[in-house]
Amino acid sequence: EKGNYRHFMQKEIFEQPTVVAQTLRSYLRPGEQRVALPQIDFDISAIDRITIVACGTSYYAGMVAKYWFEQFARVPVDIDFASEFRYRDPILTPGGLALFISQSGETADTLAALKHCKANGQVIASVVNVPTSSMARESDLLLPTHAGPEIGVASTKAFTCQLAVLAALAAHFAVKKGLMDREEEAEVVKHLLEAPASLNAALDHDDEIADMAHLIAPARDVLYLGRGADFPLALEGALKLKEISYIHAEGYASGEMKHGPIALIDDAVPVIVLAPSGPLFEKTVSNMQEVQARGGKVVLISDADGIAQAGEGCMAVIEMPKVHPLIAPLVYAVPVQLLAYHVAVAKGTDVDQPRNLAKSVTVE
């Protein structure tokens, strides 16, 4: 039931603080400040390579996880769309872990890729929201998200719960590989536990984002920019906007703008810039200024410090709470979801059941 909400998507966006907290409860032991994974009956420290396979929004969660696995656990990560992976004869050496991410656990291409990896000697792990799904049943290691049923075709709460599980998993790998000491592990746990409150703080900007929707609704094209672990959020923001508002949108790594896409910039193309303050902030801002110098209309999503530093000259700003870079991808998911939602509402599209799309893609 939708309760007081107008759409399932809106309800699911607002459920995120609760379901992320619920998911984290299965992967953290707050009292001991430790990461706690389900019983694992293979040797993590022996895993020398991770292959992540998924589709759509779940793929973007995997892209974020690649940054985390490489940063914390120093394990090389290969990631691919399921529909590409299964036809490219991937090199799978013994000792590899294949990690599948899926809300439904039934996406045909992802399931086929899983079976291929299983037949080729990989250890199979899956992050799924439906614990009785085909992918769950085929896995050696099942890592459920506890998002509850997701009804809106546009994935929202499943994504942030996937990120929560993947962050815990990356930290667990780092601990097992001897690359994260107790103190660093306690820090990671602390930041992850801050996520639900920060998600709430992000949701507080709902009205403001709704007011801003009229700036985006008339656009024919919208660009999203981000860097590092927030680059996949730019892709996710563009996907959300495309699928429910039918506005053409693309996400780019900020630094790639000058290699082509900047040619598109004029005052009719809004550019949404995701720039939490942190080590990559200055770099992203300089890309943003290149856009502004060409008449581009920027919506800057950053925290108070970032907005104070770079907000001037933007068409609009959305202020996020100041968060640790680890949880920024979870928190910055909220404004991109809300923006897509309100633009779609402003355009009068069918938010929960966009044209041409199915919730679960069980055909190849």
Decide if 297 contacts 326 (C-beta within 8 A): no
Marked catalytic residue, from 115, 283, 322, 359: 359
The span from the CA of 38 to the CA of 144, in Å, is: 10
- Distant-in-sequence, close-in-space partners of 68: CB < 8 Å, separation ≥ 6: 166, 167, 170, 171, 229, 326
Among 16, 102, 122, 198, binds ligand M6R (CB under 6 A): 102
107 sits near ligand M6R (criterion: CB under 6 A): yes
SS3 102: strand
Question: What is the chain's alpha carbon radius of gyration, rounded to the nearest angstrom?
Answer: 20
| Nearer to ligand M6R (CB atom), residue 104 or residue 287 | 104
Q: How far is the CB of 337 from ligand M6R (least distance, A)?
A: 9
Residue 139 near ligand M6R by CB under 6 A: no
Q: Please work out the total of residues on this chain that contact ligand M6R, with binding judged by CB under 6 A.
A: 17
Sheet arrangement for strand 96-102: 77-81, 49-54, 96-102, 123-128, 141-144
Report whether 212 contacts 272 (CB < 8 A): no
Contact between 197 and ligand M6R by CB under 6 A: the answer reads: no
Q: Does 58 bind ligand M6R (CB under 6 A)?
A: yes
Q: Given candidates 103, 134, 277, 292, which one binds ligand M6R under the rule CB under 6 A?
A: 103
Choice from 10, 16, 23, 57 touching ligand M6R (CB under 6 A): 57
359 is a catalytic site residue: yes
Nearer residue to ligand M6R within complex by CB, 159 or 252: 159
The string of DSSP codes covering 170-194 is HHHHHHHTT-S-HHHHHHHHHHHHH
Nearer to ligand M6R, 107 or 160 (CB): 107
4 CB neighbour count, 10 Å cutoff? 7
- Distance separating alpha carbons of residues 351 and 244, to the nearest angstrom: 6
Q: What is the DSSP letter of 70?
A: I
Nearer to ligand M6R, 102 or 284 (CB): 102
Which has the closest alpha carbon to 146: 122, 164, 134? 164
Instruction: State the nearest-atom distance from the C-beta of 127 to ligand M6R, in Å.
Output: 9
| The only residue of 23, 51, 104, 287 in contact with ligand M6R, by rule CB under 6 A | 104
Which residue type, as a one-letter code, is found at position 224?
A: Y
- Should residue 154 be labelled a site residue for ligand M6R when binding is judged by CB under 6 A? yes
What track of x and - describes contact with ligand M6R for positions 228 through 257 (by CB under 6 A)?
-----------x---x--------------
Binding site for ligand M6R (CB under 6 A): 55-58, 102-104, 107, 110, 153-155, 239, 243, 357, 360-361
Positions annotated as catalytic residues are 359
